[in-house]
Amino acid sequence: MARYRGPRLRITRRLGNLPGLTAKQSKKKARPGQHGQGSTGNKKVTEYGLRLEEKQKLKYNYGITESQLFRYVKEARRRDGVTGLILLQLLEMRLDTICFTLGFAPTMNGARQLVNHGHITVNGEVVDIPSFQCKINDVIGIKQKAASKKLVEENLKLTRLVETPSHLKIDKEKLEAKVLNYCSREDVLLELDELLVIEYYSRR
């Protein structure tokens, strides 16, 4: 399935707040579609439906395809530890996710473009792959060009984050940050039951 490029508020009305997808809030409260209002809007959601919605939250928030998400789930299963937390840590260590978390871009899509266009460096080298997996002690910086710095500086002024998560340390003067550790569950902005996502893929 291709990456979603349709109406974003329609998705947030159905799945709830998705900070990586959009910062906007819809004025409409009902779920989208003809069944979003009235008595049919109170229809009980099945267990499969709950798992599907949690999986969709991850996909839309991080801007990844179905096949990408499934690969992350398989990788999380292979590693030792709590599968759900490892899945979130893999997604949070993506280069585009870190750029979004640091406020270098207002949305995950904006962070992906920032990386794709060669504005971001890792340990001094330009990396233009949004899915690049950062490691502990990696230094994320901005390409030494006026246009790159201006773009990120403008985005930092608009950042919605109150404070930087504990697994990252940012120097706003130098426009660079260091990955200190893997993220904790509390550092993940998305409201999600990751166990349901693992259950969704349990038969695959």
Same domain, 100 and 34: no
* Model confidence pLDDT, tens digit, residues 125-137: 999 999 999 999 9
* Model confidence pLDDT, tens digit, residues 163-204: 788 999 999 889 999 999 999 999 888 888 999 999 999 877
CATH of the domain at 196: 1.10.1050.10
Output the pLDDT for position 7. 62
Q: How far apart are CA 192 and CA 171, in angstroms?
A: 30
Output the pLDDT for position 163. 75
What is the number of structural domains in the chain? 2
Q: How much of the chain exceeds pLDDT 70, in percent? A: 79
CATH of the domain at 141: 3.10.290.10
The three-class DSSP label of residue 134 is coil
Confirm whether 43 is domain-assigned: yes
Output the pLDDT for position 189. 82
78 by Cβ neighbours in 10 Å (0-12 / 13-18 / 19+) ranks as exposed
Confidence of residue 18 (pLDDT cuts 50, 70, 90): confident
Confirm whether 61 is domain-assigned: yes
Tell me the pLDDT of the chain averaged across its residues. Answer: 85
Task: Indicate if the pLDDT at residue 56 is higher than 80.
Answer: yes
Confirm whether 98 is domain-assigned: yes
Task: Indicate if the pLDDT at residue 31 is higher than 80.
Answer: no
Same domain, 63 and 110: no
What is the span of the domain harbouring residue 36?
8-90+188-200
